[in-house]
Structure 1
């Protein structure tokens, strides 16, 4: 019985390692996040924002061919809306649809087999963020930033259909 268990465990490991190779690798680095134009004041909130954005970039990367690696360096973030201090201890982010649109500055490099397929700097922004249909739920605090990132990713990396 032990050899069978060992074979099943080995087969499971092989499947797991093969499954990991089915998606492109996406690496996201935040360059001096303490100097970003607009981030929440509380450290735990900042960590949540960066974690959520990283997960979103990685989710988008699953659309790339498995042999490709995408590296993104986020140089600056200005979230939609403006933060206003609240007397009750929790700050409020107010979205007015004026000059408070989301912005992001980044550098990217897409590689496959040691060759650079695409690279550059990008200035993302969405001045019409409040007037557009957004596929993310109202409960997603980064729905406008994610929509903006989706637009950039689709235009930059996915072939026209």
Structure 2
């Protein structure tokens, strides 16, 4: 039976399983005043799904966090300003572990020993093309599990959103106000 399923998969799916570089998944890159680039996501520490299709889960994570950055940063910009974030690593809150129950799906265990972490570089360019803020960040929220979910209580990436909000409020906003 296994051989028959494999044979059907090969016949219906084509003769090869390798994906050419130009056919590799293109993760969402938000453009506009706030651009988010997901650099080499295959090397990220942890963007694994407990169940479902991995590429769909990654697409969800990247789109959600990219849109969140756009939503929070855009109001801080003046006319003509552009921001580029280049994400180099992501480690979601929790850790994916195998479940040994009735289901074959893995589960994400969220405990204080698995904080969210995100590494990225950023650059803010004003309308004249001058860099007005830039840097590299390696954010880690060690107290993520002690705060109220607040406005993100129904969001699957609430811990990561709070972490980004804190950085925007404490660091980026101050840099942009000093111009």
User: Which residue matches 1:6?
Assistant: none
Q: Which of 108, 111, 115 lines up with 2:122 in the alignment?
A: 108
Alignment of 1:130 with 2:145, yes or no, is yes
Q: Distance in 2 between matches of 1:66 and 1:135?
A: 31
Q: CA deviation at 1:155?
A: 1.8
**2:68 is aligned with 1:53:** no
TM-score (norm 2): 0.71
Q: CA RMSD of the aligned region, Å? A: 1.7
Aligned pairs, number: 136
Listed as ranges, the matches of 1:2-151 within 5 Å are: 25-41=33-49, 42-64=54-76, 65-86=78-99, 88-97=103-112, 99-112=113-126, 113-151=128-166
Q: Closer, same or farther in 2 for the Cα pair 1:136/1:91, shift >3 Å? A: farther
TM-score (norm 1): 0.78
In structure 2, list runs of 5 or more residues that go unmatched. Answer: 1-31
Distance 2:116 2:41 in 1: 16
Contact 1:71 1:108 in 2 (8 A): yes
Question: Counterparts of 2:37 and 2:136 in 1: how far apart (Å)?
Answer: 14
8 Å CA contact 1:25–1:61 kept in 2: the answer is: no
SS at match of 2:136: strand
